[in-house]
Structure 1
Amino acid sequence: MTHPYWERWDRAGMLAGIREAAAAEPPAAAAAPVYVPDDHTTVEEFLRTPGALTLAERQVIVRQALLLLEQNYAHLPLKDALYGIDPLQRLRLLLAATQRQSEATMDPEPRFHRELLSVFTSLHDLHTTYELPAPYADGAAYLPFRIEQYAEAGEPRYLVAEITRPARIPEAVRATFVRGAEVTHWNGVPIDRAVDVHAERFAGSNPAARHANGLRSLPFRVLRYHLPPEEDFVTVGFRGPDGQPGELRTPWLLARRTVPAPVAGGAQGPIGVDHEGQEIAALIESLVPRAAAATASPSGYQERGRFLYRQVSAGGRTFGHVRVKDFKLQPIDTDRFETDEEFLEALRRHVVDFLTILDGLPQDGLVLDIRDNPGGTIVAGEILLQLLTARTISPEPAQMVTTPQNLRLARSDARFGRWEPSIDRAVERGVPYSDAFPLTSPDLANRLGQFYQGPVVLITNALCYSTADIFAAGFADHGIGVIVSVDGNTGAGGANVVEHQDILGALAAPYEPLPRRANLRVAIRRTLRVGEATGTPLEDYGVAGERYLMTRRDLLEGNPDLMEHVAGVLARQGAHRLALSAEPGDATLWVTVESAGIDRVDLYVDGRPRASADVTGPPARIAVHDVVTAAEIRAEGFTKDGTLTVTATHHLT
């Protein structure tokens, strides 16, 4: 990738940006709430808002869904094989049913939505979705609390993690249905079974992801993605702080979306995100004011950009803990990027934010935490990997299915142009997939090189999705550190997702506008693993890690047991250090190397190999002959077995 803007992307410029950012970055302003509670309207009353689909509009939606899945859906061959489903035939049958109906005899609208949602749920794919039209698009049904899971003696337990609206908890149980109360039943069903039954109605690429999504959405239903609950109220069996059983009965409450959804399109890189997960997070954040949330959390994070960070002392060591909320790149004072320069500046700010945080944390241990990260811009994830390893990063490659409409798309839209020759050949030869190309420029993925030299642990769960999945896969495939997973797997969303309107804008017919703010999304390019897992699809399989079971203390006290555990994981990785200084002489450059945990160092001057020396013991002073002037020295450190473990760069000018 070449662009004049890349002149600002040299390593020295980025490191200077750290100092500028640390000095000048103002505190982040609180965003306007995306949802506001409506305590004067019931969910049932909200759904009686005018806006019913006509029969012709229903047929448009089904035709477009069939077109997207048949011509653009990257995972269709995999889903057919894994789940034994036939979503195309189900859509053909639904279309045929609507063609036999009239305006007077057509099914009630909820039945139509339920059948279409069922088709998309059968795909087990949070990327490929049907989003309901108005009035559903502007509402959410919720209960005034949040539930999380932990383990006790290896068995699952559930507790109230947060009361989002204390005033809506019935007064009779307000003193006992509190944060930390154990949830035992849901509408009379044991809670673990209730979560699993509920999870079957939701997409999720593996059992862990379905369970996690089922639990997350149990008290929160974004009506753009799901029909409202069948029941008018919910009964929750629980044990209060005194251990005595109790029962909460509460109606479903209504929240309205007040901030328009972001406008699709504009100048931006490929997107990989769980949109429903983003909406649920926005709903919860809107219900709990920032000040109240900070008071409830004992974790003590600071915030910068898309990151929360803190210093932790546990297990006899002090290390950094960085939570990555998402990989979303945010324009300044607008809702979309209008130019490539705006997008690249947002990406630069994102990297500088991360570098600034790393620069201020302990250098002998880093815990990166991407739990609940729904994804974002793919390059915003993959660009960070190089900062943590000495290895050359190979970005995850992506493929498209070889169909006539994808061939048209590759010929019409420059973003897909690299895939055009192989799709063209494959259509004739009957090969189901195109060649694979990375979505992130390999040059950009390696432009800065290693910055953090200490051991790294990555914490994941089954709500890590899309770009977060891709980040975790890159972390594993390049052997950057150890992955600790609280669910055993990530969400397994391995794709770049696009909106129906993106394809409509590129191709026009046979694509048609969708009515009444209905929307369709599709996984257009599937991503593949690299390294030892080369060629394995990320979709459905995800990224496994060492299993850790969350404790009650973790949920209520800021993860102390988890931090104790990862401190031990950091300790067993060992440490490698490499630092350089240089002193020019008469046609000789003297380089002083301070190191730990390595046995040999190779030196490169302005990109050319110039010296190699053993470095065990005290700092080594190495003579690099026949060098009069130089701009950059790069050192690579190796262990006895020849493994490259650490790099360092020194700028002379």
Structure 2
Amino acid sequence: MTQTKRPPENPARFTSFVAAKVSPLPASGLIIDLRGNPGGYIKAGELLLQLFTSQRISPLGFRFRPSDAVEHLLSTSDYFDAWEPTVSQGTRLGEEHSGTFPIEDDEAAFNKIGQVYSGPSVLIVDALTFSTADIFTAGFLDHEIGQVICTDENISAGGANNWQYNVLRAAMPGFAFPLSAEFELESGQVGPITVASFASAGTTLSSAAVVKRLPDSDFGKFCEITENGQSYKIGKMVWLRSNLAAYFPGDNRFVDDLPAGVDFGFSIRQGIRKRGGQGLVLEDEGIVADHYYRMSATDVLSGNADLISYACGLLSKPVTPRHGKIGLPPIST
């Protein structure tokens, strides 16, 4: 399939974009090649599964590791409401993991369009199939959409919700306070709502403090309050919370600012498989493919000719249930 234009970034629009491309294709069979796909927006990847099956899609469940830090993150956000009670309970009871929930929305959101391609499908993956592409592969297997060919011993096994450190820093303010203080700050003054909010968090702030607007960032609108040589950032991030948030540089008890130019990524939530792979961890484990294929010289030199022929031969074969199928068989020649 040739991509004629850049797909939209909105997950629902992206799914509709792909649906429009695959729905008119011949029902004789479809080969989906995810080799080398680095992943991307998790919800977008999982939304695509419905297009290739009549089964109802159950998206991966994602879970936190309960801790005081994670509890603080959730308590200052509106984005993780589903997880908050189980994280709070897990922290009290010493549980290893929170409850599991879809990455966004509920199960109904992943089944709004339904199947648009009725023919058989085969999925090809390799060791560079990563992140959201890992998650799509697991869903393809667990819903028995079609057979999976792996040209390596496993996929990348990066099936988790990955964040960069700067996202974590944005999600971990000192405290949140009412959005009604925004009008005060936009006028360039510290008003009574802001003063009272800081006081409730144990910080004294007077109406003489200086307010300066900062350039918008990827995480929303910011301003800076300075008084007696101490500065506080105030952020408004509608994707994360409905209120404002105050950031205390250098004294956050969970995360601190990194030196300039330093950043790293990590897994914040772990993905747990559903349906045929119910309860299995995807991160670091990967999947067990139906077929392990070793690339031929013809594949390398002539546009995957042997691999495509091999995949076409599988389109007519039935998909068998995979319940309990774990462990990695050796790659065959």
Common fold: TM-score over 0.5: yes
How far the C-alpha of 1:573 sits from its partner, in A, is: 3.3
Aligned counterparts, 1:551-630, within 5 A = 551-573=296-318
User: Is the partner of 1:417 in helix, strand or coil?
Assistant: coil
Distance 1:559 1:531, change over 3 A: same
Match of 2:143 in 1: 478
Q: Where does residue 265 of structure 2 map in the other structure?
A: 521
Q: Determine whether 1:426 maps to 2:171.
A: no
Tell me the SS of whatever aligns to 1:526.
strand
Q: Equivalent of 1:500, from 162, 165, 179?
A: 165
- Per the alignment, residue 208 of structure 2 pairs with none
Partner letter of residue 563 of structure 1? I
The answer for the alignment partner of 2:224 in structure 1 is: none
* Structure 2 unaligned spans of 5+: 174-251, 320-333
Change (3 A) 1:350 1:365: same
CA shift at 1:403, angstroms?
0.6
Match of 1:406 in 2: 70
Unaligned runs of 5+ in 1: 1-300, 307-328, 332-345, 575-653
Q: 1:532 is matched with which residue?
A: 276
Contact 1:363–1:453 (CA under 8 A) maintained in structure 2:
yes
Contact conserved, 1:389 with 1:480, CA < 8 A, in 2? yes
Residue aligned with 1:349, SS: helix
* Alpha-carbon distance in structure 1 between the residues aligned to 2:55 and 2:167: 36
Q: How far is 1:353 from its partner?
A: 2.5
**Residue type of the partner of 2:266?**
V
Quick one: distance in 2 between partners of 1:507 and 1:347? 26
Give the aligned residue type for 2:126: N
Q: Which amino acid aligns with 2:317?
A: R
Q: Is the 8 A contact 1:395 1:440 kept in 2?
A: no
Amino acid at match of 1:488: E
Query: Higher helix fraction: Structure 1 or Structure 2?
Result: 1
Name the SS of the counterpart of 2:130 in structure 1.
coil
1:153-168 alignment, distance < 5 Å: none
CA contact (8 A) 1:374 1:466 kept: yes
* Inter-partner Cα distance in structure 2 for 1:530 and 1:348: 22
1:544 is aligned to 288
RMSD: 1.7
Q: State how far apart, in whole Å, the 2-side matches of 1:330 and 1:518 are.
A: 30
Please say if 1:388 is aligned against 2:52.
yes
Secondary structure of residue in 2 paired with 1:515? coil
SS for the counterpart of 2:3 is strand
| Matched letter for residue 100 of structure 2 | A
SS of the residue corresponding to residue 40 of structure 2 reads strand
Relative to structure 1, the CA distance from residue 392 to residue 364 in structure 2 (aligned partners, 3 Å threshold; closer, same or farther) is same
Distance 2:275 2:11 in 1: 26
1:353 matches 2:53: no
CA shift for structure 1 position 305? 4.7
Aligned counterpart for 1:457 among listed residues 113, 117, 122:
122
- 1:410 and 1:418 in contact (8 A); partners too: no
Please name the residue that 1:491 is paired with: 156
| d(CA) in 1 for partners of 2:171, 2:104 | 22
Where do 1:69-468 residues align within 5 Å? Answer: 302-305=2-5, 346-441=10-105, 442-468=107-133
Q: Secondary structure at the match of 1:415?
A: coil
Task: Indicate if the aligned counterparts of 1:528 and 1:537 stay in contact, CA closer than 8 A.
Answer: yes
Q: Take 2:264 and 2:272, find their aligned partners in 1: how far apart are those partners?
A: 24
CA distance in 1, matches of 2:8, 2:26: 28
Judging changes above 3 Å, is the alpha-carbon distance between structure 1 residues 528 and 305 closer, same or farther for their aligned structure 2 residues? farther
Deviation at 1:532, TM superposition (A): 2.7
Q: Which protein has greater RCO, CA pairs closer than 8 Å, 6+ apart? A: 2
Contact 2:141 2:276 (C-alpha < 8 Å) held by counterparts: no
Q: How high is the TM-score relative to the length of structure 1?
A: 0.35
CA distance, structure 1, for counterparts of residue 153 and residue 54 of structure 2: 27
Which structure carries more strand by proportion? Answer: 1
Deviation at 1:419, TM superposition (A): 1.0
Deviations 1:18-48 (A, max 9, x none): xxxxxxxxxxxxxxxxxxxxxxxxxxxxxxx
Letter in 2 for 1:398: F
CA contact (8 A) 2:169 2:256 kept: yes
Q: Distance in 2 between matches of 1:357 and 1:563?
A: 20
- Aligned residue pair count: 238
* CA displacement at 1:440 relative to structure 2: 3.8
Q: Which has the larger radius of gyration?
A: 1
